[in-house]
Amino acid sequence: PHTGRWKVWNRDDVVQTLPKRRANAHKGTFGTGLLIAGSDDMPGSAVLSAIGALRFGIGKLSVLTTKEAKQIIASIVPEATFLIRDLAKQELIADIDPFSCIAIGPGLPQDDVLEQLIHEILTKEIPVILDAGALRKREYPYRKNPIILTPHPGEFVRMTGIATKQLESKRIELASKYAVEHHVIVVLKGQYTVIAFPDGSGLINVTGNESLAKGGSGDTLTGMLLASLSIHQDVKAAVANAVYIHGLCADKWIEDNGSSTLVAHEYANLLPIVMHQIE
Ligand code: APR
Ligand code: MG
Residue 110 lies in a domain: yes
Nearest in space to 31 (alpha carbons), one of 268, 271, 222, 233: 233
Q: Give tens-digit pLDDT for 30-66.
A: 889 999 999 999 999 999 999 999 999 999 999 999 9
Confidence (pLDDT) at 93 = 62
Nearest in space to 195 (alpha carbons), one of 154, 253, 142, 146: 146
Ligand nearest the Cα atom of residue 220: 1
Residue 267 lies in a domain: yes
* 22 confidence band (pLDDT: 50, 70, 90): confident
Q: What is the mean pLDDT of residues 192-199?
A: 97
Q: Give tens-digit pLDDT for 206-239.
A: 999 999 999 999 999 999 999 999 999 999 999 9
Is the beta carbon of 213 within 6 A of some atom in ligand 1? Answer: yes
* 267 confidence band (pLDDT: 50, 70, 90): confident
ipTM computed for the complex? 0.94
Residue 21 lies in a domain: no
Residue 77 lies in a domain: yes
Q: What is the mean pLDDT of residues 112-134?
A: 93
What is the dihedral angle through the alpha carbons of 139, 142, 147, 153, rounded to the nearest 10 degrees? Answer: 30
Containing structural domain, residue 61: 6-16+27-278
The strand pair at 60-65 and 194-196 is best described as unpaired
Closest residue CA from atom 19 of ligand 1 = 218
What is the number of domains present in the chain? 1
Alpha carbon of 131 to ligand 2 centroid (Å): 7
- Beta-sheet strands, E only, within 151-270: 185-188, 194-196, 202-205
Alpha carbon of 17 to ligand 2 centroid (Å): 26
Facing residues of 19 across strands?
none
State the closest ligand 1 atom to the C-alpha of 192, by its place in the atom list counted from 1. Answer: 2
Domain of residue 219, CATH code:
3.40.1190.20
* 86 confidence band (pLDDT: 50, 70, 90): confident
